[in-house]
Amino acid sequence: MKRRAGTGVGLRWTLVALLLMAAAAYGREKPSEPEFKYAAGTENLYEGCEGNLEVDATGMTFRCRAGSVNVPFASIARMEYRQDVSRKVLKTKLRWKIKPAYQAPLLGGRQNRFFTVVFTADGRPHAMVLRVAPEAMRPYLAEIDLRAGRRVEVQGYEDY
């Protein structure tokens, strides 16, 4: 009988330890998923390539599995964050690998989704259009404005 009582206590402690390990594993942060998707541009990346945007003192770099795009701040001609790609960008003479289609703003869709950067590389204009949710883009806007020394044109939704 003493053996059974001892085994029961040991089994209880094992169950408690397993429950604690499961609770600790459940409470851990999940690895962050890529927040940016390559939607269009002049670079050799495929549409929908998921990755991250890194901002440093001299520029920003979008990295995904298919490759990366480095954009020095000094080479940027235009930056926008809108619910579509603007007509100004679409009218720019670019050699699009993946061309964005102009989409008229949806009636109920007052949410920015596309971060567009037009820049110069190798003496030619280039563009990168990334799809990103407003919650993910918000912290980047201030940092890019500060480091680039210029503002990202953000489409506003205030009714005047």
Q: Per-domain residue ranges for the chain? A: 1-30, 36-154
Name the nearest CA neighbour of 124 among 150, 146, 101, 95.
Answer: 95
What pLDDT, on a 0 to 100 scale, did the predictor assign at position 28?
45
pTM for the whole thing? 0.74
| Overall CATH class of domain 36-154 | mainly beta
pLDDT in tens, 25-48: 554 444 456 799 999 999 999 999
pLDDT in tens, 104-125: 555 445 677 999 999 999 999 9
Please give the full DSSP string across 81-148, using - where no structure is assigned. Answer: EESS--HHHHHS----SBPPPP-PPPSS-----EEEEEEEETTEEEEEEEE--HHHHHHHHHHHHHHH
pLDDT in tens, 3-18: 555 556 666 666 555 5
pLDDT in tens, 70-96: 999 999 999 999 998 999 998 888 999
Helix (H) or strand (E) run with residue 71 in it: strand 67-72
Please state, in angstroms and rounded to a whole number, the distance separating the CA atoms of residues 45 and 103: 22
The answer on pLDDT for 128 being more than 90 is yes
